[in-house]
Amino acid sequence: MSAPASKISANVNPSTLSENEDMRKMHVVVVGHVDHGKSTFVGRLLHDTDSLPNGKIEQVRKNCAAEGMDFEYAFLLDALLEEQEQNITIDTTRIFFRTKKRAYAIIDAPGHKEFLKNMVTGAASASAALLLIDASEGVMDQSRRHAFLLSLLGVKQLVVLVNKMDLVKHDQGTYEKIKTEYSAFLKSLGLTAVHFIPIAAKHGENIVTRSDKMKWWQGPTVADALDNFRHEDDLTGLPLRLPVSDIYRFDHRRIVAGRVEAGSIRPGDELIFQPGGRRSVVRTFEDWPGPESRDVAVTGDSVGFTLSEQIFVERGQVAAHPSNQPRVGREFRARIFWLGKEPLQLNKTYRLRLLTQNVQAVISKIEKITDASTLESIQASSVPRDSICEVIVRATRPVAFDLHHECAITGRFAVEDAGRINGGGIILEAQSENNAREGKVTAAERTARSGHPPAVIWFTGLSGSGKSTIAELVERRLFDAGRQVYRVDGDDLRTALNRDLGFSAADRAESVRRASAVAGLFANAGHISLVTLIAPLAADRAKARAALANHAFIEVFVDAPLEVCESRDVKGLYAKARRGEIAEFTGISSPYEAPESPEVHVRTDKLSTDEAVQLVLNALDKILQSKAEDWEV
């Protein structure tokens, strides 16, 4: 049962690594049509670069013999039982190896068409691609589809390997024919292959060693071509794009966390956070363990920093320098590749994920659907799986973005359906929004931003009837539900705006007029305003209702018998009034005209506060629903 102690060479040989070696791993994806020889190629590459662990090839040979199969290089990679049975690669696999120049991660992506999402996963993290074409079969569906996806995913360095040259007698004419045909296809995608290398992976021809059967080939071997790939561009020279991942408040510090996706950032930089447009200055980087912190963070660095002013910042916003900001908008034209089992549909709500932004969005128009393998247009009302489309995307909230050709990293997004990423897209151009207007901001735009129409709820009733108690709870419930809400309280108004008013009939009328004007302003700003004011006279209340006629209006009669109100006497006012210390006190020395037909009538001596609150909220829901239809944008 015990495994034998393994032997590690005691003779450490430092010459296997040169001191100036490029330590950054080069990620290369291997793609191509099913059975065009990807796994065999990778197996052979590992063998020929002397990268296999001791005993690996013997182990696989033994396994093959045990199962009565001929050994193939492809089996080296297909370590999973299921793969060996199906004889296809099922998922993205990374294989690590190194040349004298540097370390590599080969991303072995599958050729079977059902597994396109795995190829996308693999290719999106690669700096370069090797695409295999079987010389005896020529260019096939997936040869074209994979190149199309590479172009969308932004893999710019491509080498085409014309494989299985042994099956076409190493014929240069066959090679040239494939090269001509496929080059033209690549050109239509805006791609160029660095090389077309003729190989026979099975026999190791032109992998590391030059083939003596293809003397006509003067170009590089695959190993040479790999070593000539460059790492993806360093985006540090571009304008700063730092999407906020979170705000940390673990101790006294308030730290903005995020990764620099493009450009660079230093303490002292002024930042603008989009969408929203708030500005502040980077105070410090909060690097642990310290004590020193970086003086600059560049593309690829994750940072945590404090700001000199405490402005509202949240996950999803993109920090930029004010001199070069991303675009902000709700609509753009995009090219999307769709991997979902269900087709991509018009007007269905999806989640759009762009860096750390995550917003609801719909496809408001499908302009073109393309079959990825033939590049021919498809006529359809929805976008089928594994095809590519040009569409108008419309988000429910503003999004910060760049056009893909300006800054790829902020110019692309993933599309999520029911919690699953099912597609990706690049942004081609910004759309001028249908509802955006030059100049004046409209009520409809405010409603769209609040997510609900404005309203005025007017609580009237005797002192001590429970107006404020109910209104405060209504405000809390609405606020917690994400509504824009503000309470205009009669007592508060008296301390400032109405300081000059007393309790005469004329002053009471003026007080009601001013309260209705203030409530109207909040409603104009998109809020649900809650007014709590005794407003004892029916005529004054009627005027208020008329003044607020363009908003949803709910009159709530907070009703309790005078004795009950007087027994509550929270503020001790009834006692004072009875002692004659307050003149013209409503209900004692001044009349209260009960509303005849309020929208809501709550008897606070009979209902619990919660029941009363619920009645008000029900009435609000009802009226807002009817209003919302008028406000559709």
Map the footprint of another protein across residues 91-110, applying CB under 8 A: 91-96, 105
Q: Which stretch binds another protein (CB under 8 A): 9-17, 36-44, 275-283, 558-566?
A: 9-17
At a CB cut-off of 8 Å and minimum separation 6, what does 159 contact?
A: 128, 129, 130, 131, 193, 194, 195, 196, 197, 222, 225
Under DSSP, the state recorded for 113 is: G
Q: How far is the CB of 240 from another protein (least distance, A)?
A: 15
Q: Is 245 in the site for another protein (CB under 8 A)?
A: yes
Q: Is 609 in the site for another protein (CB under 8 A)?
A: no
Among 72, 171, 227, 287, binds another protein (CB under 8 A): 287
At a CB cut-off of 8 Å and minimum separation 6, what does 568 contact?
A: 464
The residue count for the chain: 633
Residue (422 or 511) nearer to another protein, CB: 422
Among 169, 173, 288, 312, binds another protein (CB under 8 A): 288
Total residues at interface with another protein (CB under 8 A):
85
Strand 242-248 relative to strand 264-265, pairing: unpaired
167: which 2 tokens?
């099956």
Q: Is 112 in the site for another protein (CB under 8 A)?
A: no
Please state whether the peptide bond connecting residue 4 to the residue before it is cis, i.e. omega within 30 degrees of 0: no
Is-contact 620 633, C-beta < 8 A? no
Under DSSP, the state recorded for 112 is: S
At a CB cut-off of 8 Å and minimum separation 6, what does 542 contact?
A: none
Residue (420 or 449) nearer to another protein, CB: 420
Among 432, 488, 430, 478, smallest CA distance to 452 is for 478
Residue (79 or 570) nearer to another protein, CB: 79
Q: Which stretch binds another protein (CB under 8 A): 5-13, 173-181, 391-399, 506-514?
A: 5-13
Query: φ and ψ at 411, to 5 degrees?
Result: -110, 20
What is the b/e burial string over 258-283, where b = at least 16 CB atoms within 10 angstroms of the residue's CB?
A: bbbbbbbbebebebbbbbbeeebebe
Element holding 194 (H helix, E strand): strand 193-198
Q: Is 17 in the site for another protein (CB under 8 A)?
A: yes
Q: How far is the CB of 95 from another protein (least distance, A)?
A: 7
Among 210, 321, 353, 576, binds another protein (CB under 8 A): 353
Q: Is 194 in the site for another protein (CB under 8 A)?
A: no
Neighbours of 583 (CB within 10 A): 12
Q: How far apart are CA 239 and CA 260, in angstroms?
A: 10
Q: Is 113 in the site for another protein (CB under 8 A)?
A: no
Among 255, 359, 395, 558, binds another protein (CB under 8 A): 255
Alpha helix locations (H) across 49-129? 56-66, 81-86, 116-124
Among 212, 295, 376, 596, binds another protein (CB under 8 A): 295
Under DSSP, the state recorded for 349 is: -
Q: Is 456 in the site for another protein (CB under 8 A)?
A: no
Map the footprint of another protein across residues 62-91, applying CB under 8 A: 63, 77, 79-82, 90-91
Q: How far is the CB of 295 from another protein (least distance, A)?
A: 7
Q: Which stretch binds another protein (CB under 8 A): 47-55, 131-139, 268-276, 391-399?
A: 47-55
Spell out, one character per residue from 323 to 342, where the chain touches another protein: x when CB under 8 A holds, - when not: ----------------x---
Q: Is 360 in the site for another protein (CB under 8 A)?
A: no
Q: Is 242 in the site for another protein (CB under 8 A)?
A: no
Q: Is 412 in the site for another protein (CB under 8 A)?
A: yes
Is-contact 281 290, C-beta < 8 A? no
Residue (34 or 562) nearer to another protein, CB: 34
Map the footprint of another protein across residues 115-134, applying CB under 8 A: 117-118, 120-121, 123-125
Q: Is 252 in the site for another protein (CB under 8 A)?
A: no
